[in-house]
Amino acid sequence: MALRSAISAPRYLALRSLSRRGEGGRLGRPAGRRDIHPDPGSRIHPSIHPNTGLTIELFDIRADERILRGSCCARALVGRFTLDANSELKVTLNPAPQGSVAEINLEATNTSGSLILHWGALRPDRGEWLLPSRKPDGTTVYKNRALRTPFIKSGDNSTLKIEIDDPAVQAIEFLIFDEARNNWYKNNGQNFQIQLQASQYQGQGTSTATSSTVVPEDLEEYEAARTELIEELNKGVSLEKLRAKLTKTPEATDSNAPASESTVTTKVPEELVQVQAYIRWEKAGKPNYTPEKQLVEFEEARKELQSELDKGTSVEQLRNKILKGNIETKVSKQLKDKKYFSVERIQRKKRDIVQLLKKHKPTVMEAQVETPKQPTVLDLFTKSLQEQDNCEVLSRKLFKLGDKEILGITTVALGKTKVHLATNYMEPLILHWALSKENGEWQAPPSSILPSGSSLLDKACETSFSEYELNGLHCQVVEIELDDGGYKRMPFVFRSGETWMKNNGSDFYLDFSTKDTGDAGKGTAKALLERIADLEEDAQRSLMHRFNIAADLVDQARDNGLLGIIGIFVWIRFMATRQLIWNKNYNVKPREISKAQDRFTDDLENMYRTYPQYREILRMIMSAVGRGGEGDVGQRIRDEILVIQRNNDCKGGMMEEWHQKLHNNTSPDDVVICQALLDYIKSDFDIGVYWDTLKKDGITKERLLSYDRPIHSEPNFRSEQKDGLLRDLGNYMRSLKAVHSGADLESAIATCMGYKSEGEGFMVGVQINPVKGLPSGFPKLLEFVLDHVEDKSAEPLLEGLLEARAELHPLLLGSPERMKDLIFLDIALDSTFRTAVERSYEELNNVEPEKIMYFINLVLENLALSTDDNEDILYCLKGWNQALEMAKQKNNQWALYAKAFLDRTRLALASKGEQYYNLMQPSAEYLGSLLNIDQWAVNIFTEEIIRGGSAATLSALLNRIDPVLRNVAQLGSPVEVSGYIVVVDELLAVQNKSYDKPTILVAKSVKGEEEIPDGVVGVITPDMPDVLSHVSVRARNCKVLFATCFDPNTLSELQGHDGKVFSFKPTSADITYREIPESELQSGSLNAEAGQAVPSVSLVKKKFLGKYAISAEEFSEEMVGAKSRNVAYLKGKVPSWVGVPTSVAIPFGTFEKVLSDEINKEVAQTIQMLKGKLAQDDFSALGKIRKTVLNLTAPTQLIKELKEKMLGSGMPWPGDEGDQRWEQAWMAIKKVWASKWNERAYFSTRKVKLDHDYLSMAVLVQEIVNADYAFVIHTTNPSSGDSSEIYAEVVKGLGETLVGAYPGRAMSFVCKKDDLDSPKVLGFPSKPIGLFIKRSIIFRSDSNGEDLEGYAGAGLYDSVPMDEEDEVILDYTTDPLITDQGFQKSILSSIARAGHAIEELYGSPQDVEGAVKEGKLYVVQTRPQMGKAREDYYQVLGVTVNSTPQEIKEAYQEASRNDTIS
């Protein structure tokens, strides 16, 4: 392109000639040659430097005018005005090239810090001021007629920059107002005016701006001069030096050149571009950019820096601005081996996960029996009500009234509800009361129920107490009889004379909607909680008082065991969640609060060292309390707020009110307030942001006003205060968190790593030494964590946090110095981890399953590190690790395997939640009632604890991957149903009901042993019974949908649809549901078979045939049930590789014979009486009968005969090991008999109208096979009805976990009968518990009510081992049945072969139970397989359920010969 001269040719010739002839080769003016000045109006032409792309222009050489500049920085001094004797105003202008922005810079010298520009813009077509849309920060609109913009204080001067982007604006007009002096500055009585057009640069004041004239150009001389300057630049001469040569001014003074001089645009150094690109990448959260995006980012960084240079910032200033800390090291490290930025990752150490194992199970101490106390008058009053005829006490609540008590009792008698209030306060007392249907409501009671002498007010009533005497003791009472007005509460307060009495500042209330029969405080450290309630009024004086009281209570809590520690936790948690008053009319210094905190947390630390079983709860307490600290730690809060006010000139308004609050009584609220201020400042003073931050953390305007030193005002800072306040409040936040926050990462790391005085006025004189004995490399690990804590991609941070926790773990198991600091560090790492995972949910929206599985691994590891009893969690973690490896290796069973561990993990979380609820909720409810805590806060207490932990985070991840696994593994349910939703707590509670319309039960609990009620077409539950559990079998046989709902939100939604009609339709990966009209239900969408009642059946009553015990050879239909007969039939007929245990039996009628014995006369009478109650539908009699049966005494003849038969069959006799062993065996026998009256069995017989008295119970006695595995086989697949396919389930250990109500699912597989060497696994095990036992005897139920036509009684009654089993938490990752494909195939094939052989033996589908010990199979029982498959099969064979095995086998052989069956 053509290059044009920047100055007139004669002027340029002078420069060029001097460059050759001048002394020392300097550019300058030739001797004897006059200065040639351009004429006014001369044009200015740019020249482009070929290497840098910089545009260079030369202007008239005068100290107060432009010399060299970049074309984008054409700043000119356009006005200089005198303000007063000491101050002047300079105005420079960068005019706007076509389509760009004009920039006006104002600088007032020697001014106060409170100048305001009152201004507007002028356009030719408008007479009044125009208000530009582009305004500087801090600008406000004045009466819609002008703008007001504050100047920024800079040293002794004040500056302001205005940008105008409207090309129609011709000028700006303004006045200047000095707020501090209440003085207006004008231009000789007129407005100041600055013209923006290039031809009108003259300001209307004393301006030094000049104009130019055109001079003819000499192109040859221009090119030569231009070349000389370019050569100088190419040699590395800076623009500043070049300017100095041209102007004959010293280089050192160049930076102080007048504002009218312009600078030349220079190239941004590449290393600064790299740093700026890194800063941009950090601010974006260190995302994983593509290489193309990285290049774009580098160019954007270059533009940002170039813009700074174009505005006049020097390279050195730019360098000083962005090169903070060790950022250059970070950048060079990032770009050492690559040309882009990527997130660093730590190298995690390889550890055996089991090293994290902790087995400190929470145990609850037996409640200490309290020494009986002399009954008080209120005790006697309660007793007097309870002893009244037909009077039932619905609730009883005790309140404190100073050192006296108020007792509130609600009773119902003869259909009438009464409220009784009694007190030992004997001064004249008036009850001020009302009734309410909603919380917080006061309604005046109807006049018809007012006690005598009452006064009815607007929204309340007043009733005087009357004196009452009991056994010589005096009290005062009020009695109110309620009508049926649907009231839920009775709020009340008291008045004695002019003194009003409240419940810790709130209303008293009695709740009619809950029933409390006097068990209040059960399952808690009751005495401790009552002591806390007594001390609460004193604790409310200040946090210092509360923490000192807590420290005083630590010993009592420890003596009460786990429930005592939980009692302290519940109290502190109520405090931390602002349910209790923090300060009431008491001034306390921050250092006194922190000292009290320190004392309390020291006590907790000592307990942490000594009682590892309490560590999980102790961590929760410490997290809620904060660290505290002696001496200056708390005092800094008081001192440093003064530093902030002084440094930043903010001594009034909100800051002064906060200062007073901090001096009076600092609290954890101050951390929130400080964060709100920081967010407000960062948002450029958006007051909405301030309130949003406060509200998010539970601080309202009302709470701010409730402090002893209330905060009335909102913050109101000036823009020039921004940087200083951000710096100082950021430092102050460290002091606040050091005292109040137990989970703040930065302060926790600083305390452990050591820090000292930083920042003027902050942390002065403070020096914390590093904790000794930390692992090698630990400081760098924590530095990594801090560097990445805001990263957008959370994965590297999570790895770093976990590595830090894993490194801390061995120290926390020991007893290091400064244990407390390490505990707080671990709490902070844990808290940061949970926050980072929650932040990463969006990142996981569209990722591969392997990524979610990896996150699940991380969260499980974090949960294990925070849990005292973590064995089950660790084995879940090992399973997920293995599943992830299988997925990476493309193993076709990875999804099935992962689904099993997903189910197990959910069980572990549910178990943990249930444990928390059982341990914490009773204390929350009792202490909540004593302290008058809002009921909603009590109700959600445990739920909120769980939500705040890793368990909730883990549950969310499991919900994300569950449908993926179900889809890949092709899991689903075949039944579609419609019906009315009915919500129940337990399936067990409604199993005896009959529903008259199609019903879908949403049951919170299903154990697996329940009946399906009549009329039920579907059961939705969060529980997961086995496929072969009783309830699952019943569901399949009756075509009832049985579905597990893992998502608590979905379950809650369904519960909200109680009574509505819904349709549930299974898919391959899930179940969809929708609400439907009743008409659609009535039109036939209901499965006709589902939920139909079972027809009635009959039993033949069995008699005692004279023998207490018989051998297997004596088994007959009159003596024992099908279970015993089938075992005897198997002996010698199954293949030799299948073992059958030796058996004897206690025959039918033996129980009745023993019960009729004279030695059991009282037991018999009691049972007869309880049966009478049962006949009247008093189902509580069932449990009482079971308990009574256990009191039976064994006749001598029974013992003699049983011993003979057992020894004769080669079985050990328990009595040979001592009388105690026989007693164990006898108790097991009685438990089998007693199971005749378990709820499930009883209601099952009622449903089919079976006479329960006709049910007889024989007992099959076998030696236990101490199994490695136990199995159940169905020789016809019960799910599909496919008779060519065997279905089986296998568990580790004894079979009780398979047939009993143990959570989780067994390993399941199918096998084609024509290919028994090819078993196919359908599901891996998720049962967390295995049962194991030493050599022992088991007593199995064998009733005459099993395997009847139309009724399946099998599995209803108990089988009881003589010895208690050992529960072992299972690790499937080391189980060869799971990990060894060869072993797995061998065992599963053998099980399938055994089932097939037994089916062949009987000639019908069989339900077989057995065990595997050291590779050998044992069959312990078999029976005909129940359900429609058996019914259809028998129909084909032409036999019935009453046919003998031999008859069935012969029919089977005949059908096979005739090809009737395949």
Per-residue DSSP letters for 1194-1213? --HHHHHHHHHHHHHTTPPP
List phi, psi (to 5°) of 17.
-65, -35
CA–CA dist 1449, 1456 (Å, integer): 10
Per-residue DSSP letters for 407-436? EEEEEEETTEEEEEEEES--S--EEEE-BB
Containing 1136, the helix (H) or strand (E) segment is none
- The single residue listed with the structure tokens 């009231």 is 487
Closest CA to 672 of 690, 645, 655, 646: 690
CA–CA dist 1000, 982 (Å, integer): 6
| 1030 flagged as catalytic | yes
Bridge partner residues of 407 (DSSP): 398, 422
Count other C-beta atoms under 10 Å from residue 1314's C-beta: 10
CA–CA dist 40, 289 (Å, integer): 54
Closest CA to 764 of 668, 643, 598, 629: 643
Q: Is residue 490 classed as helix, strand or coil in its secondary structure?
A: strand
CA–CA dist 225, 221 (Å, integer): 6
- Enter the tokens of residue 1179: 């189902």
CA–CA dist 1087, 1106 (Å, integer): 50
Closest CA to 267 of 330, 298, 310: 310
Taking CB atoms within 8 Å and a gap of at least 24, the contacts of 1246-1250 are 1246/992, 1247/992, 1247/994, 1247/1011, 1247/1014, 1247/1093, 1247/1094, 1248/1094, 1248/1095, 1248/1096, 1248/1097, 1248/1350, 1248/1351, 1249/1096, 1249/1097, 1250/1096, 1250/1097, 1250/1098, 1250/1099, 1250/1345, 1250/1351
Residue spans of alpha helices (H) in 164-314: 219-234, 239-247, 270-283, 291-310
> Per this entry, what is the length of the chain?
1462
Closest CA to 257 of 267, 247, 265: 247
List phi, psi (to 5°) of 12.
-65, -35
- Please classify residue 1106 by burial: count the beta carbons closer than 10 Å to its beta carbon, then call 0-12 exposed, 13-18 middle and 19+ buried: exposed
Bridge partner residues of 1369 (DSSP): 1329
Strands 508-511 and 489-496: antiparallel
Burial 457-494 (b: 16+ CB within 10 A, else e): eeebbebbbeebebeeeebbebebebeeeebbbbbbbb
C-beta separation of 1010 from 1063 below 8 A? no
Catalytic residue among 663, 788, 1030, 1274: 1030
- Please classify residue 1008 by burial: count the beta carbons closer than 10 Å to its beta carbon, then call 0-12 exposed, 13-18 middle and 19+ buried: buried
- Enter the tokens of residue 791: 């990263």
CA–CA dist 113, 123 (Å, integer): 31
Q: What is the 3-state secondary structure (H, E, C) of 1325-1364?
A: CCCCEEEECCCCEEEEEEECCCCECCECCCCCCCCEECCC
Torsion of CA 1366, 1368, 1374, 1375, to 10 degrees: 60
Share of the chain residues as helix, strand and coil, in percent rounded to the nearest 5 = 45, 20, 40
- Enter the tokens of residue 241: 């030096």
- The residues assigned a catalytic role are 1030
